[in-house]
Amino acid sequence: MATIIVQDQEEYFLSKVPGRKRIFLIGKEKCNSTYLKADTVRYSPNAEGGEHYHKSESFIYIMEGECEIRINGKVEQVKAGTMVYLDPGDKHYIKNTGSKDMVMLEAFAPQNEAASIWTDPNAPHEWIKHEGASMKKKN
């Protein structure tokens, strides 16, 4: 069954790593998706995520801003309008290198293999639900 999801109306999750916000958009819990999982992540300037990989295929699409992405040790600078495809097992790390927020859309298939596997399992990586709030910026 078709589902319409409006990002600004969805609750968001804050990372234990400062400067990151996530909205879960598509998945079993949201729209009973069988294979696909997708979300957006907003990185504040200088925010970064730890190196990790997934057992699923995935892509990252930079919607706003710019960032550094390291894939299997190779560093690239990417900006809005760039798509990055990742094979299962590709280790990757992202850091916002711009002066404004960077927003990315990421998707995984199959979703049951989408969990992040961290190269440093002791670092904080959890997402904490921010009750009753959305990503919509207040003027």
Query: Which mean pLDDT values do the consecutive 10-residue runs of the chain (139 residues) have?
Result: 88 92 92 94 96 97 98 98 98 97 98 94 85 49
Entry pTM: 0.89
Distance separating the N- and C-terminal Cα atoms of the chain: 35
d(CA 53, CA 78): 19
In contact, 41 and 108? CB cutoff 8 Å:
no
pLDDT at residue 121, as a whole number: 86
pLDDT at residue 131, as a whole number: 67
pLDDT at residue 122, as a whole number: 86
Q: Which fold has domain 11-130?
A: Jelly Rolls (2.60.120)
Q: ω into residue 121 within 30 of 0, thus cis?
A: no
Instruction: Name the E strands within 8-80.
Output: 11-15, 20-26, 37-43, 48-53, 57-64, 66-71, 74-79
- 3-class SS of residue 64: strand
